[in-house]
Amino acid sequence: MKEEIKSKLEAAFEKHEQSKRSAADAKQVAENKSQTFLREFIAAREAIIRPAMEEVGEYVQGKGYAFEVSIEDDKPSLDGRSRSTPASIRLTIFPSERRYPVHENPGFSVICEKGEQKVRFHESTMSPSRGGHAGPAGQATLGALTKDLIQEKILKVVAEVFR
């Protein structure tokens, strides 16, 4: 093989290796950023979100209705192919005496979107034999999360469920 061709082949492979290293470095930076965001979400979940939800839940309980605050930890999918389960927290309100599964009752969730570096809100006014709606309720940065913001969003759900 001519030295000129060998040299060009070597340059092509060096460029390819550099691209692989750059991609690996970028992936590591993104992973570190995601893990940092997840840790910050968990801290906010315990310091801001849970107390705000529990305060509303206790008020609702004082009116004769049960509530539950549940958390979900970030975990990969079991099959490794589908989407992982993001960290989240949900306030569920039980408007009837009979306990239906949590997802069949009204509630409000705050979900960690570590890849996007945001939290997503989800609301549900669905109740057994009553109907309602379920869907996105906005998003925010971690820095924008306050007790008042969480409680205002929950108020919207409660007002619709008990109208």
Interior/surface letters 10-28, b for 16+ CB within 10 angstroms, e for the rest: eeeeeeeeeeeeeeeeeee
pTM: 0.79
Q: Which residues of the chain have pLDDT under 50?
A: none
Instruction: Give pLDDT tens digits for 24-61.
Output: 666 666 678 889 999 999 999 999 999 999 999 999 99
Could you give the CA distance from residue 26 to residue 94 in angstroms, rounded to a whole number? 45
Q: Strands across the sheet with 107-113, in order?
A: 66-72, 88-94, 107-113, 118-124, 134-140
Strands 134-140 and 118-124 come out as antiparallel
